[in-house]
Structure 1
Amino acid sequence: MTAETREGYEGTGPGVITPDGCAVDLYARLSVGDEPDVIAGAIPAGAHILELGSGAGRVTRPLLERGFRVTAVDESAEMLGKVSELGGRVRTVRSPIEELDLGERFEVVMLASFLVHSGDVSVRRGMLRACRAHVADGGCVLIQREGADYHTNLPRERVDPGGYTVRIVSAVPVGDGVNEVRAEYVFPDATWTQTFRARPLTKEQFEDALGEAGLRVEKYLTEDGTWVRAVSAD
């Protein structure tokens, strides 16, 4: 079942598909990698995390298991339904990230899943403004970036330890520095596809985008630069 999709975004496969092409049942099955370890190593123990774009809780769950509190934000009620099942130290908020205004601030704000690479510049700006508006004084913003070769050397695939195959099939330029990316997720019992628009950002472009939102890079947390700890530029 597919809701009305946005231009350049599409998903196929079993279950509910969100307007940005994400399959809820797929996201509930995806494995978590080293993201929780990277996050936990960069923030205080037991911190309250504002997770922007939580999806079905792939990263939320291990953060809760590590003793963090999480406020999970997503615009999909179906995604948040999966997060609510985790119970405990999580609350959910349904909202587009770029429109979020909770009137409170958090020790940690997290923008993962390459959302900073939104093909729509106005959406990216809104997301980063939301990050800056919701981070407490002395707090930090954790951002996940695409790897340097994300849009190149295609098609490519990897077999996940969870027993499924992920293929990045193509990244086709559609103008203004944006690519339309097609991905496939092949499980033994089901296959999903997702098409979305993403804007590659050099390190300099990424840092400029942060600066525009009143943020600055404090530290690149991984050798490949895909995880960043940012703070207020004030």
Structure 2
Amino acid sequence: MREGHEGTGPGAITPDGCAVELYARLPVGDEPDIIAAAVPAGARILELGSGVGRMTHALLERGFEVTAVDESAEMLERVRGARTICGPIERVDLGETFDVVLLASFLVHAGDVEVRRGLLRTCARHLAKGGCVLIQREGEDYHTNVPRERVDPAGFTVRIVSAEPVGDGVDSVHAEYVFPDVTWTQTFRARPLTREQFEEALAETGLKVDRYLTEDRIWVRAVPMTDT
């Protein structure tokens, strides 16, 4: 298990504390629609941190070609219809480029700055000329509006119980996923990033914001700084 990360509940738990069975149950939200509206039809997508394929499968249904990358073999076993690559995202180098690189699940908020830089470098080196990176950020009150909970229409409750500072600008976040028959928990480390800090992190790896795709600025379309 990665330092500062843990998970509880039935089934396999990944190094960052994610429960495979939990993610197999979670429904996909509006993310595939946001992605589809921001990229060319039929684009080749490199999905970094695909997990069990919640978004992968929805993107395949919309006619995209997806290569799914995750460090968990147990997660990738659930992916259907896409090419899969197992390995740490920050070290992936496929020697090819894609129209779109997708970095969702708040991965850009990795507590370890070097890991974050590695993730963004992976995005940049796999980007085809004229392509874009789509990044999902945390909401701007993610670490301050706690505790909070959301009842999903599918019949389960997501609780962000706490976000406690552990030093160097990093918080330890504790989440609970409560279903009628089972509860999973995840504790993980995340680094809050203001809009300015986020844009500085992009610039470190030669990327810049093209536009924010949603009013809350959670979804971002980024392009190389060399693009005009």
Q: What TM-score, normalized to structure 1?
A: 0.96
> Residue in 2 aligned with 1:67?
63
Within 5 Å, which residues of 2 pair with 1:19-30? Answer: 19-30=15-26
> Residue in 2 aligned with 1:116?
108
In 1, Cα distance between equivalents of 2:170 and 2:177: 22
Structure 2, gaps ≥5 residues long: none
1:157 to 115, 138, 149: 149
The answer on 1:104 being equivalent to 2:96 is: yes
Query: How many residues were matched structurally?
Result: 226
2:72 to 64, 70, 76: 76
2:5 to 2, 5, 9: 9
Within 5 Å, which residues of 2 pair with 1:130-141? Answer: 130-141=122-133
User: What secondary structure does 2:211 align onto?
Assistant: strand
Q: Which runs of at least 4 in structure 1 moved beyond 6 Å after TM superposition? A: none
In 2, Cα distance between equivalents of 1:20 and 1:8: 8
CA shift for structure 1 position 82: 0.4
> Residue in 1 aligned with 2:121?
129
In 2, Cα distance between equivalents of 1:230 and 1:93: 23
User: What secondary structure does 2:187 align onto?
Assistant: strand
State, as a whole percentage, how many aligned pairs show the same letter. 76
In 1, Cα distance between equivalents of 2:131 and 2:15: 32
2:135 to 121, 130, 143: 143
1:213 maps to a residue whose letter is T
Superimposed CA distance per residue, residues 72-128 of structure 1 (whole angstroms, 9 cap, x where no aligned partner):
000100000001xx22xx100001110000000000000000000000000000000
User: What secondary structure does 2:38 align onto?
Assistant: coil
CA shift for structure 1 position 32: 1.1
CA shift for structure 1 position 153: 2.1
Superimposed CA distance per residue, residues 140-190 of structure 1 (whole angstroms, 9 cap, x where no aligned partner):
000000001101121100001111100000000000000000000001111
User: What secondary structure does 2:144 align onto?
Assistant: coil
1:155 maps to a residue whose letter is P
User: What secondary structure does 2:34 align onto?
Assistant: helix
In 2, Cα distance between equivalents of 1:201 and 1:153: 15
> Residue in 1 aligned with 2:216?
224
1:30 maps to a residue whose letter is L
RMSD: 0.6
In 1, Cα distance between equivalents of 2:159 and 2:133: 30
Structure 1, gaps ≥5 residues long: none
> Residue in 2 aligned with 1:198?
190
1:160 maps to a residue whose letter is D
User: What secondary structure does 2:78 align onto?
Assistant: helix
2:52 to 47, 51, 56: 56
In 1, Cα distance between equivalents of 2:120 and 2:175: 25
Superimposed CA distance per residue, residues 45-83 of structure 1 (whole angstroms, 9 cap, x where no aligned partner):
111100000011111111111111100000100000001
